[in-house]
Structure 1
Amino acid sequence: MYGSCTSPEHVLDLIRSRGIQIVDLRFTDLPGTWQHASLPASQLSLADFERGIGFDGSSIRGFQAIEESDMLLVPDPTTAFIDPFAAVPTLVMICNVVDPETRQPYARDPRYVAQKAERYLRDLGIADTSFWGPEIEFFIFDHVSYEVLPYRMGFAIDSREGYWNSGRNDGTPNLGYTIRPKEGYFPAPPHDTFQDIRSEAALLLEQIGVPVEMHHHEVATAGQGEIDMRRDTLTAMADKVMIYKYVIKNVARKHGCTATFMPKPLFGDNGNGMHTHQSLWRDGTNLFYAACHYAELSELALSYIAGLLTHVDALLALTSPTTNSYKRLVPHYEAPVNVAFSKRNRSACIRIPMYTTGPENAAAKRVEFRPPDPSCNPYLAFAAMLMAGLDGIQRRLDASRFGPLDVNTYQLPPEQAAQVKSVPGSLGAALEALERDHDWLLEGNVFTRDLLETWVSYKREKELREVEVRPHPYEFYLYFDI
C-alpha cells in the first residue's frame, strides 16, 4: 500500500473504493515522534494537497514560537496506507510541513531535511541513489511502570521471559523457560514466547507496503526482538521506520504487552541498536563494490567510511541522541564503541557484512554503521550519515587510519587498545562535538544552523540537564550512609 498511490486523484479514488471514513495526517516532530490529526474523508479535496491543512506549530516540540505558530501540513499521496489498527476505516498519509506565508518547506521539518539530503547527493553527481537498511531492535515487556517525583523515583520492568522470573513461586504456574542474559539470539519456542507477536507485526508491515526480510528474537533476555525491512531510499526508509515503530507498539498493545525502542532499558544485558546498512548507487550500479579491494569495497566506499568515522563524535549527537543511548554504548554488549572498521567484526563502529561475496553479489555490498539506536529521528540520522559519508568522498579522506581492525577490539592488549579511539561517552560530549564539527552538515543547505542550534538547545535543556539535576537511585546505594 505505501508507495502504491501516485497522485492526489489516486488517493481520492482509494478513499471511495475502500469506504475510507477518516484521513489521518502524520508528521514527525524534531525529536522524532509521530504526531497526527484526523479529518473526515469527505472533507479532503484535491486542493488540500496544494494549499495544505493548518495546525499550531508552537505546540510541537522543536518547531515554532507562539508568535509564529501557524503552519501547514501538505499530504504526500505516495505515502498513503490504510491503518490496520483503526476500528473506523482510516487512511494515513505522511505530510511535509510548509510555512503558510512563504509557501516554502519548513527548515525544521525533519522529513524535508531527508529530502534535501537526497537532492544534494544527486546534485553532487557522485551517485543518484542511496539505499538504507536499518536493523531496528526493540523490547516487548509484559509490564513497565515508572515515576519521577521529588521524593520518590524509579522504574519496574517485568517479562515472562526475564531470567529473574526463573525462581518465581507466587502460586501461578512457572514453566521455567526464561532466557539467560545475552542468550536470547535465536532460541526456538518455548523460550521465544513472542514469535506470534513478531509474525503478526511482520505481516502487517507487509500489508501496509513495508517489505520484511526476516524476524527473530534478539540477544537480550526479556523479549528483545528485531524485524528486518528490505532496503529502500533515504526518505522512504525514514518513513518506514516511523511506520515500523507504530506497528510494533500497537501490535504489542493489542496483545496486552508494551514495546519500547529505548536504547538501554535493562542493566546487564544488550540494548536496542539500529545498525544502519548503507550504499551509494548510480545508473543501477552499486558504487561500493570493487572485486580487488579489502572486503570487496571500492575506494569510494572506503572514503565514505572515513567520512563517517572522522565525524563520528558529532554524528552521534543525531544518531544516538539520548542520555540513555550512552548506557548502551559501553564495551562487551556487542556495542560498537571502537572507532574503526572491519569485515564481520561487531565490536567496530563499522562492519562490512560478508554473507555474500563475488561479482554476482555486487548489489549486496554495503557498509553497516553500528552506533545508531532507534531513539533517533530517522530523517535526521540518515541525512547526517549520508552527509558525513559524502564529505569523506569529496575530501578523499583516508580510511586506513581507522583500520581495518580484524580482531576483537575488546581483547586487545592495553597498549594496543589505547590506540583505538572510542565514541563519546555521554550525550553532553556528543553535543559539544556537534557544536565544534558541523560545517559538513550545512553543505547544500541540507541542515541549517537554526535547526542544529535548536536541536542542541532542546537536547541540553529538555533532556540532558533534566537528567543531570535529579538524584539517581544508585546514588543512594553508594552514598546514603556516607
Structure 2
Amino acid sequence: MGLKVTFAPKIIVGKAGSGMHVHTKIVDKNGINQYVDKAGHLTATAHKAVAGMMSLAASLTAFGNTNPTSYLRLVPHQEAPTTVCWGDRNRSALVRVPLGWSADVDMCSIINPLEKPSSKRYTNKQTIEFRASDGSANIYLLLAGICTAVRHGFEIDNAEQLAKDTYVAVNIHKDEFAGTVAHLDSLPASCVASAERLRQHRAIYEARGVFDPVTIDMLIRNLEAYQDTDLRAKAQADPKFLKELVDRYFYC
C-alpha cells in the first residue's frame, strides 16, 4: 500500500517528534500504590522516586535516546522535555504526575446511578511518567536504568529537597517563565553528550551488579561513534540537512 511504519524519534521536519513515555508505580506486597496516600497526595516515597529520576535523568538518555535524531526531538515547543524538572500534569516537564483519581471517590457509581458502589481504592491507579525516551531505546536497559534511578532516590540524603528544588508548576517553554528553570540542568543535546553523562554516573548503574561494566562501555562507545556534538545546531540552521538526518534514521 506504499506505507512505512517507524517509531523513530523524529519523522517530520518542523513537527513534534515521537516519544516513548514510561509510566511507573511502586506497590507494596499487597499491591497498594506507594506513590499516594489515602487522601491522594504524593508520599515521601513518590518524592524520593522522582528525585532519583532527576538525579540520573541526563544519563538515562543513554538508554532511551540512542541516535542523533533523538536530540532533534528534545527541543522547546516540540511537546518534549528539555530540562531536568517535574510537575503535576505538566507536559513541558521531564517527569510528569498525570491526572489520577486522587480524591479516591467512586465516580462510576456517582455518575451512573445503576452502578453498584465499589470499595475499590482508586488512588491505586496513580503513576509517575518519565517522558524523555523514544523509539530508539533499548527498552530492557531503559527500564533497568529507570529502576536504578528510583533506587538511587532512596539512597541519597537530599532526595526530598531535590524533588522540591526541581518541581515546576508552569510551562517552562514560555518566554515569561525562562527564569524559573535557569538554575536547573538540561538534558544532553547529542549522543556524545549523553555518553559523557553516562560515564559520569556509571558507578551508580554498575552498583549491585545491575549493569555490567562491559555493557556501559559498549553504550558509551556506540553513542560516541555518532560524533554528533554540533549536529543539532547544524540541523536547525539547515532544513535540507535536517531532512537528510530524518531520512537516514527513519528506522532508528
Same fold judged by TM-score > 0.5? yes
Alignment of 1:43-82 (within 5 A): none
Amino acid at match of 1:423: L
Q: Using the aligned pairs only, state the percent identity.
A: 28
Q: Note the residue ranges of structure 1 that are not aligned, 5 or more in a row.
A: 1-254, 478-482
> Which residue among 382, 393, 407 is the counterpart of 2:170?
407
Return the match for 1:330 from 70, 75, 78: 75
Answer yes or no: is 1:426 the counterpart of 2:171: no
SS of 1:351's equivalent?
A: strand
2:54 is the alignment partner of 1:290:
no
Count of paired positions: 217
Aligned residue in 1 for 2:126? 365
C-alpha distance in 2 between matches for 1:372 and 1:298 = 25
Change in CA separation of 1:379 and 1:258 when aligned onto 2, cut-off 3 Å: same
Whole-angstrom distance in 2 between the partners of 1:414 and 1:278: 29
> Which residue identity lines up with residue 134 of structure 2 in the other structure?
D
Q: Provide the C-alpha distance between the structure 2 equivalents of 1:299 and 1:387, rounded to a whole number of angstroms.
A: 18
CA contact (8 A) 1:341 1:348 kept: yes
Measure how far apart 1:417 and its partner are. Answer: 4.0
RMSD: 2.4
**1:3-402 superposed matches below 5 A:** 255-283=1-29, 284-291=31-38, 296-359=41-104, 360-396=121-157, 397-398=159-160, 399-402=163-166
Corresponding residue for residue 249 of structure 2: none
Greater share of helix = 2
Q: What is the letter of the counterpart of residue 421 of structure 1? A: D
The structural deviation recorded for 1:414 is 3.8
TM score, norm. by length of structure 2: 0.79
Higher strand share: 1
Query: Contact 2:93/2:172 (CA < 8 Å) preserved in 1?
Result: yes
Q: TM-score, normalised by structure 1?
A: 0.42
Q: Is the 8 A contact 1:307 1:391 kept in 2?
A: yes
8 Å Cα contact 2:83-2:185 kept in structure 1: yes
- Secondary structure of the 2:87 match is strand
Cα 1:256/1:413, change in 2 over 3 Å = closer
The verdict on how the C-alpha distance between 1:475 and 1:365 changes in structure 2, with shifts beyond 3 A counting, is closer
Alpha-carbon distance, 1:341 to partner: 1.0
The structure whose Rg is larger is 1
Residue number in structure 1 paired with 2:180: 416
Q: Please, which moves more after superposition, 392-401 or 372-381?
A: 392-401
Report deviation, 1:373.
Answer: 0.7
In structure 1, C-alpha distance between the alignment counterparts of 2:181 and 2:79, rounded to whole Å: 17
Relative contact order, higher structure (CA 8 A, sep 6+): 2
Over 3 Å counting, the alpha-carbon distance change for 1:416 and 1:362 in structure 2 is: closer
Aligned AA for 1:439? A
Contact kept in structure 2, 1:323 and 1:464, CA below 8 Å: no
